[in-house]
Amino acid sequence: MSDSSRNADARGSRAMVHAASVIDACIGRRYTPDVRPYATTRSPRPPPIVRIAEEEIGTMSNAGIRTSLIVLSAALAGCSSGGGGSSTATGFEQSTGGGMPAGWSSGESDGVGKPAKWSVERDESAPADAQVFTCRAQNPEPTFNWCVQEQLLGADVEVSALVKPLTGIDDQGGGLVFRFQDGANYYLTRWNPLENNVRLYYVKGGVRRIIGDAPTTATPGWRRLTAKVVGDRLVVTFDGQVVIEKTDATIKTGGKAGLWTKADATTSFDDYAAKTL
């Protein structure tokens, strides 16, 4: 083997180690690449990162390294584009004030034609950063106001956010949605200071059913709400304490994740994060 070939193989080996480490960090666990020949797994038009990888390692002499590196690159492309194992964190500090953050979409169910307004605003009381994501609504009691990130997550996920109730007569507070299929099918956990409780629900066909309930005497202010689902096991944490643990298999597949309020609740959110486990 020539010196140039040995150098190319060494570069390929280092690139494989680096790519694997990046994927590990992205998905939060050890990545085991699919070792099938790349020609049997790639799409007719590979993502840009894969085409770049092909060009960069096209002169390598070791076919095994070449194949493995391309497969690793393909996995990295899937990870960065929001496939299984993806994660997202949004502090809203980089978002343009007064508008919807990029990559989010909102909607409602049982509304009366006055959709809630979701926008980035400043709140110097926020413990994470001064820009927060606020939902301002004037809807009647049956209306669910939701706002989700378009990025798809896996079935096993953890979602968390700081929640601050502002106003509301019919309802106050808000919460998190996950395994969100559409506006009529998802899991939901929410904190309501008017009712002094945290609850866990599923919404199926637009109908909300309670799974778990926990009393709380927390006063309005910034509170951390976290939901975690692995298989059919759901765990809700409020201000660092596990308050609900239930099993439910109503919605089994991965989907989107995001934020939720009800009726006329005006609520701010900050330090949002969601990840596939």
Tokens of 87: 């994660």
Assigned CATH topology for domain 87-276: Jelly Rolls (2.60.120)
Give the β-pairing of 174-182 and 256-262: antiparallel
Terminal-residue alpha carbon distance, the chain: 43
Query: Tell me, what's the pLDDT at 113?
Result: 66
Helix (H/G/I), strand (E/B), else coil: 254? coil
Query: Tell me, what's the pLDDT at 1?
Result: 57
Residue 166 near residue 266, CB atoms below 8 Å: yes
Write the DSSP assignment of 17-35 as a string of letters: HHHHHHHHHHHTS------
pTM exceeding 0.75: no
Query: Tell me, what's the pLDDT at 30?
Result: 43
Predicted confidence pLDDT, tens digits, the chain (277 residues): 555 555 545 544 444 444 444 444 444 444 344 433 433 333 333 333 333 344 444 444 454 544 444 444 444 444 433 344 567 666 687 776 778 888 999 998 876 667 889 999 999 999 888 899 999 988 777 889 999 999 999 999 999 999 999 999 999 999 999 999 999 999 999 999 999 999 999 999 999 999 999 999 998 899 999 999 999 999 999 999 999 999 999 999 999 999 999 999 999 999 999 999 9
Tokens of 33: 């690449």
Query: CATH 2.60.120.560 occupies which residues in the chain?
Result: 87-276
Which long-range CB contacts under 8 A does 238-247 form with residues at least 24 apart?
238/191, 238/198, 238/214, 243/198, 243/214, 243/216, 244/189, 244/198, 244/199, 244/200, 244/211, 244/212, 244/213, 244/214, 245/212, 246/200, 246/211, 246/212
- Contacts of residue 179, defined as CB under 8 A and 6 or more positions apart, other chains included, come to 155, 157, 186, 187, 229, 251, 252, 253, 254, 255, 257
Query: Tell me, what's the pLDDT at 139?
Result: 77
Half-sphere exposure of 255 (CA within 13 A, CB side): 19
Query: Tell me, what's the pLDDT at 92?
Result: 81
Of the candidates 2, 1, 3, 18, the one whose C-alpha atom is nearest the C-alpha of residue 56 is 18
Query: Tell me, what's the pLDDT at 242?
Result: 98
How far apart CA 69 and CA 199 sit, in angstroms, is: 46
Query: Tell me, what's the pLDDT at 81?
Result: 37
